[in-house]
Amino acid sequence: MKKKMISLTLAAMLGLSLAACGGGGGSTSGGGDSGDSGDSGSAASDVANKDKPLVWFNRQPSNSSTGELDMAALSFNDKTYYVGFDANQGAELQGTMIKEYIEANIDGLDRNGDGVIGYVLAIGDIGHNDSIARTRGVRKALGTGIEKDGEINSEPIGTNTDGSATAVQDGELEIGGKKYVVRELASQEMKNSAGATWDAATAGNAIGTWSSSFGDQIDVIASNNDGMGMSMFNAWSKDKEVPTFGYDANSDAVAAIAEGYGGTISQHADVQAYLTLRVLRNALDGVDIDTGIGTEDDAGNVLSDDVYVYREEERSYYALNVAVTADNYGDFTDSTKVYDPVSKQLDEGAHATKKIWLNIYNASDNFLSSTYQPLLQNYDKLLNLDVDYIGGDGQTESNITNRLGNPAEYDAFAINMVKTDNAASYTSLLSQ
């Protein structure tokens, strides 16, 4: 171990002196998952763009209709990974959190006393795995899902105040010896006219429309994320004391739990943001990819296996989710705080500064802009990464790819696509 550290330091020093001699940008990459020689050199090294480390995050390269993973993109080169979170585990937690809330707070919850617990659902993006999983999770827990091709149908239903929709069914909950019908009164993909999905403003308008035509039937609001959930909460449900449930544990949503927001799910963005940059750091250092992840690094950073899983066959790291409710929200008030077990500064001598190109697909996405990016900005310093953050418009891939004009200036790339099908728009640029 000690020997390895010394050789890394030497390699790094050698790299610095080569660069200082103006030797044309340093040496080549450290090579793969488990090499033991440190990489050296400055940005714009001789490494071909197609061989540089690449991490996809938040939107997993996959077919947006079937969910099938795009393994060509996920294994673009031997330094390519995906970082996200376990969508199914989180979706199940969200559904269970809502069901348990209904059971524990049934007195007064059925606002018009008709024996039907009515809920409305804000859907983020019908082609995004996370969104699909969350819609399924809610329908499954509440008994409103209907199977289609072996999975719960995740389509939006429009309005269903009479219970006649065919993509969902009425569920039933027995609470305290009394049976209640559970009905999805309405659901809609929150996409604005310009094409941006997970759109908070659209959700705020939708609750306005829904509440004015069947407001007294709405007892619960479920949302695929907090951005949309908070927009509905502020527009209507806070005043009406209708519990609203979201996802992401953004700081504003966590704070709103004190004012009646029902709950949210932390997708452990603090772990994801770390992993996003850490896999690049490791690939650039030419060390085992598990360094500072499952194996403690030279600064003492390490993650325990209750906060993430790695699926090698998918080249993907997934953070695990935690429910945030009135019982525990005090522990989640700052969503941008680095995760303590991986908060130690790397030594610049052994881990020289590298230049990273990173994009956020939609600069106005609540989760990405208020939680994920601030976390990345906290970790980049700790990991000695000089990151250029590019904010997209959330609608077109070209708005982002246009700003990847000179990949040779960067040592590694972190990509958040607009559509999960579009990985080739990026890899083709790196392959040129």
Cβ neighbours, 10 Å, residue 25: 15
Q: Which residue lies nearer to ligand BGC by CB, 169 or 225?
A: 225
Residues 6+ apart with CB under 8 A from 260: 233, 237, 238, 241, 243
Residue with tokens 């699909």, as numbered in its chain: 132
Q: Which residue lies nearer to ligand BGC by CB, 350 or 358?
A: 358
CB of 17 to ligand BGC, least distance (A): 43
Residues 6+ apart with CB under 8 A from 246: 223, 224, 225, 226, 227, 228, 229, 230, 253, 261, 263, 264, 265
Give the residue among 90, 56, 57 at the shortest CA–CA distance from 76: 56
CB of 138 to ligand BGC, least distance (A): 14
Label residue 312 exposed, middle or buried (CB < 10 Å: 0-12, 13-18, 19+): exposed
Asked if residue 248 binds ligand BGC (CB under 6 A), the reply is: yes
State the Cα–Cα distance between residues 55 and 369, nearest whole angstrom.
19
CB of 174 to ligand BGC, least distance (A): 32
Asked if residue 359 binds ligand BGC (CB under 6 A), the reply is: no
Asked if residue 154 binds ligand BGC (CB under 6 A), the reply is: no
Supply the DSSP symbol for 233: I
Asked if residue 367 binds ligand BGC (CB under 6 A), the reply is: yes
Stretch that binds ligand BGC, among 91-99, 281-289, 290-298, 360-368 (CB under 6 A): 360-368
Residue with tokens 């996370």, as numbered in its chain: 130
Q: Which residue lies nearer to ligand BGC by CB, 287 or 368?
A: 368
Asked if residue 198 binds ligand BGC (CB under 6 A), the reply is: yes
Asked if residue 427 binds ligand BGC (CB under 6 A), the reply is: no
Asked if residue 231 binds ligand BGC (CB under 6 A), the reply is: no
Within 58-77, which residues bind ligand BGC (CB under 6 A)?
Answer: 58-59
> Which residue in 184, 219, 365, 380 binds ligand BGC (CB under 6 A)?
365
Asked if residue 332 binds ligand BGC (CB under 6 A), the reply is: no
Q: Binding-site residue total for ligand BGC (CB under 6 A)? A: 12
Asked if residue 219 binds ligand BGC (CB under 6 A), the reply is: no
State the Cα–Cα distance between residues 32 and 185, nearest whole angstrom.
52
Q: Which residue lies nearer to ligand BGC by CB, 225 or 325?
A: 225
Asked if residue 245 binds ligand BGC (CB under 6 A), the reply is: no
Helix (H, G, I), strand (E, B) or coil at 40: coil
Asked if residue 281 binds ligand BGC (CB under 6 A), the reply is: no
Stretch that binds ligand BGC, among 153-161, 211-219, 363-371, 402-410 (CB under 6 A): 363-371
CB of 83 to ligand BGC, least distance (A): 11
State the Cα–Cα distance between residues 49 and 427, nearest whole angstrom.
9
In 320-377, DSSP assigns E strands to 322-324, 354-360
Asked if residue 56 binds ligand BGC (CB under 6 A), the reply is: no
Q: List, in sequence order, every residue forming a beta bridge with 413; answer none if it has no partner.
A: 54, 357
Instruction: Give the tokens for residue 15.
Output: 């790299």
Give the residue among 336, 334, 308 at the shortest CA–CA distance from 322: 308
Asked if residue 225 binds ligand BGC (CB under 6 A), the reply is: yes
> Which residue in 15, 156, 227, 262 binds ligand BGC (CB under 6 A)?
227
Q: Which residue lies nearer to ligand BGC by CB, 58 or 62?
A: 58
Q: Which residue lies nearer to ligand BGC by CB, 117 or 368?
A: 368
State the Cα–Cα distance between residues 54 and 68, nearest whole angstrom.
20
Stretch that binds ligand BGC, among 288-296, 328-336, 365-373, 375-383 (CB under 6 A): 365-373
Binding mask 124-153 for ligand BGC (x = CB under 6 A): x-----x-----------------------
Angle made by CA atoms 386, 415, 294, in degrees to the nearest 5: 75
Asked if residue 397 binds ligand BGC (CB under 6 A), the reply is: no
* Whether 350 contacts 12, CB under 8 Å: yes
Instruction: Give the tokens for residue 316.
Output: 């993907």
Q: Which residue lies nearer to ligand BGC by CB, 45 or 420?
A: 420
Residues 6+ apart with CB under 8 A from 134: 87, 90, 91, 94, 124, 224, 225, 247
* Whether 403 contacts 397, CB under 8 Å: no
Where on the chain is the footprint of ligand BGC (CB under 6 A)? 58-59, 124, 130, 198, 225, 227, 247-248, 365, 367-368
